[in-house]
Each structure stands twice: as C-alpha cells, then as structure tokens.
Amino acid sequence: MLVLSSIYKGSFISTVEVREMFFWGLISKFAGSIFTDRRTTNNLRRDLIEVKNHLENNINVIFFPEARAFDGSKVLDFKRPFFTPAFDLKKDLIAITINYNSINGEKLKPADKNLLFWYRQVPLLGHIMNQFKHQSVEVELFINHLKSPSNPIDNKKTVQHLHSIINSNFRSF
C-alpha cells in the first residue's frame, strides 16, 4: 500500500478488520478507504455501489484483485466483482506488478518475505510498524494501462488478461 499510494492518488479497498484497528483504521478512514467484509458476500452489492460512487467522482480505486493476504510466492487467481464498476463506467484500468528487489541494500532471500508481505502471520499494526524499521526497500514496478472492454462479454477475458500481464511480470523469490 505504501508503494502504490506514493505514486497514485485514490482510495484503497480494504477489509473491515483494518477499519476496526485503532490507529491504522483511523488513518485508512481519513484516507478514504472503502471497507469490505471479505468473509461474506452479504454486503457485496453495497460495496460495489460505493466503488462505483468513487469512480463516478473521478476517485481512483486501488485494490489487490486476489482479495486476500498471502505470502507473495505467486499471483493468485483474481476475484472479479470489484472490476465490475469500472467496466460498467467504461473506466480504464491500470495493472501494476510490484517486485521487491532488496531491503537495506541486500538482495532479498526467501526468508525475507515475512519482512515484506503480510498474511496474518503477525498482527497487521506490528507488521506496518516493522516496515518503518528498514532504511530502504527497493522495488520494481511494471505499470500497464488497459482500456475497459466495450462489450460486457469481454469482462471475464479482460480480467484474465490483467492476471496474465501481472503474472508475466511477477518475480517470486
């Protein structure tokens, strides 16, 4: 999130668990995050309306389409619902691949993934605070711009194409 928010203005889609965290929840709320409960689809319609409202107001919506925390060892399958408002509004898409190269000038090793990726192995706030202990983290970004499909039939293919682009640029460590 820190890398993406440093180059793109917008609202992140995050989880209700983040909203409920004292410090980080307040920061996320004031930053305009959209909070979803990924454990259930009961509120999905409401969440999609909120995403659509952001897009209609020309606020970029930033999300991780895998829709879950994981160890960064591969690109997981994408969940499609949060693409729908962008498709409906014919908004262009930006697929960003983030590859981490080094921490404090040292090339990353497989054991370092716990330093960068959060997948519920430690409390989120502790993980975020640990990020500020690094003197430097070198990342490489691949940024690809895509037009929203003009035909709704192509929405699924577009999401698959986005996955393919990100996967081809992704480097596991």
DSSP annotation string for 103-116: ETTEE--GGGHHHH
Query: Which residue is associated with the tokens 């969440």?
Result: 47
3-state secondary structure of 35: strand
28 within some domain = yes
Tell me phi and psi for residue 72, to 5 degrees: 75, 15
Mean pLDDT of 52-75: 88
Mean of per-residue pLDDT scores for the chain: 88
Rounded to whole angstroms, the Cα distance separating 43 from 86 reads 18
Percent of the chain with pLDDT over 70: 98
Mean pLDDT of 155-166: 93
| Domain count for the chain | 1
What pLDDT is stored for residue 91 in this prediction? 95
- Confidence bin at 143 (pLDDT 50/70/90): very high
- Confidence bin at 121 (pLDDT 50/70/90): low
What pLDDT is stored for residue 87 in this prediction? 95
CB < 8 Å & 24+ apart, contacts of 108-111: 108/173, 109/173, 110/173
167 within some domain = no
Rounded to whole angstroms, the Cα distance separating 145 from 158 reads 12
The pTM of this model reads 0.84
Distance of CA 143 to the CA centre of its chain: 14
Mean pLDDT of 42-62: 95
Mean pLDDT of 91-107: 92
Rounded to whole angstroms, the Cα distance separating 51 from 166 reads 22
43 within some domain = yes
Tell me phi and psi for residue 104, to 5 degrees: 50, 40
Q: Is the sign of the CA dihedral 135, 113, 26, 21 positive or negative? A: negative
What pLDDT is stored for residue 60 in this prediction? 95
145 within some domain = yes
What pLDDT is stored for residue 118 in this prediction? 74
Query: Tens of pLDDT along 72-84?
Result: 788 988 989 999 9
128 within some domain = yes
6 within some domain = yes
Question: Does residue 71 carry a pLDDT above 90?
Answer: no
Rounded to whole angstroms, the Cα distance separating 145 from 96 reads 9
Q: Which domain holds residue 137?
A: 2-160
15 within some domain = yes
170 within some domain = no
List Cβ neighbours of 56 (8 Å cut-off, separation of 6 or more): 89
